[in-house]
Amino acid sequence: MPKRTKGLIAAIVSATALCLSIPTIAHAADAEAWTPTESAIRAASAGIALPHTVAGLSLSKSGEASNGGRAVDNYAQYLSEDGAIQATLYVYLPTYADASLAAYMTDKAVMERFGAKTRRTAYASAPVAGRADGAIRAVYDDAADGALTTAAGFVHAGRWIVKIRVTGPTERRGEVLAGLDGMLANLTVDDPASLHATAPASFSACPAAPTADARLTPAKPTEEAAPRDVRIPRDGKDALCIRGTAATADGRYDMLQQAGRSDSAIIVPVDDSGTVLAFDPAANGAGYKLSIHMVGQTDIYGVYDRVPSPHQIAAIIDGKDTQTAEAQAVATYAANGEVTVSRLAQKGR
């Protein structure tokens, strides 16, 4: 695998478009991503479906946003009859799945893209597929200098995240909201028990944390390479606190941990499509193991002797940290749940 240069996040951050733009090219393998029925489009691996027509919006096209042929990053676009109202359903498999973080990072992206006049007018748990608190519903008015209303819904079902975006002219706000609410109401999940209760993330300030730089110790070839589940509450189940902020030329990224737990994992959400840096307490209690989570893939690194400082995290994101120039192993996730771990050769070893 090539080095991650600015790049750690260049290829990664290109996935930010998953929220804010519509792919224009459908891959030949689209049939693997979606299985159309007579009345609905269905992501078979995820067990999630939506009718072809809902709340005045009709299916226009579908495909894979990235990872062509793997069916882990899928989209379906819907349009009103005149094309003025646009909606997109995303069903994707981030290896760190958290609906509250997806909503939080999308909120940041919407505010940054659509300008200072944009107002968040709704942001709360909402019903989906028979579960009263199975989704987060967000509404933004006066976007793009008052020209647009945009709305979003977020669902965590099993290993999958569902994101719905609906946007249209401000004067047709009612249709935008009807589109979002209709999609949430008509979304079906094969296994309702797989739906996670979710709520908007809440944040507080962490106690002052050490800011000394950390040192990375590469894992030994004999050590377990498979990714572990990052030990931190998800989907808004507990308050998070902001330990620090990593500032890069391209943006500012919050270092989050569980409020009131100095020994919890540290996560750094990077974009609105599920890219997360995770520093998880090592199994032996000595240090923090770094993993970088994306759609369908986790890159696995060694163990830092402490939580890296904000400027070190910024260097990791920018691809300028020589300690993390290369992953030691890569875990690739298939839509059917299979995980393939490839250990990578390290220079000088």
CA pair distance 189, 197, nearest whole angstrom = 14
Q: What mean pLDDT comes out for the span 124-133?
A: 94
Kindly give the pairing relationship between strand 240-248 and strand 203-205: parallel
Question: Which of 194, 227, 251 is the last residue before a domain boundary?
Answer: 194
Checking if the pLDDT of 44 tops 50, the result is yes
Given pLDDT bands bounded at 50, 70 and 90, which one contains residue 232? confident
Cut 0.75: pTM above it:
yes
Which pLDDT belongs to residue 223?
58
Instruction: Return the percent helix, strand and coil in the chain, to nearest 5.
Output: 20, 40, 40
Phi-psi group of 235: left, alpha or beta (phi > 0 → left; psi -120 to 50 → alpha; rest → beta): left
CA distance 42 to 319: 38
Could you tell me if 209 and 103 lie in one domain? no
Residue 291 forms beta bridges with which residues?
Answer: 278, 300
* String of DSSP letters for 3-71: --STTTTHHHHGGGHHHHS------TTHHHH-EE-SSEEEETTTTEEEESEETTEEEEEEEESSSTTS-
Structural domain count, the chain: 2
The DSSP call for residue 295 is B
- Which sign, positive or negative, has the C-alpha torsion 217, 97, 57, 141? negative
Q: How far apart are CA 319 and CA 348, in angstroms?
A: 20
Same-domain status, 175 and 259: no
- In this structure, the answer to whether residues 223 and 158 fall within a common structural domain is no
Residue 125 is part of which domain span?
Answer: 10-194
Residues 268 and 169 both lie in one domain: no
Taking only Cα atoms into account, the Rg of the chain, rounded to an integer number of angstroms, comes to 20
Return d(Cα 156, Cα 97) in angstroms, integer.
7
Q: Using one digit for the tens of pLDDT, what is the confidence trace for 274-311?
A: 999 999 988 777 889 999 999 999 999 889 998 999 99
pLDDT of residue 209: 78
The answer to whether position 2 is within a domain reads no
* Same domain, residue pair 98 and 216: no
**Cβ-contact 314, 265 below 8 angstroms:** no
The residue from 194, 219, 252 where one domain ends is: 194
* Mean pLDDT for the stretch of residues 71-99: 96
- The CB-side HSE value for 118 (13 A sphere, CA atoms) comes to 21
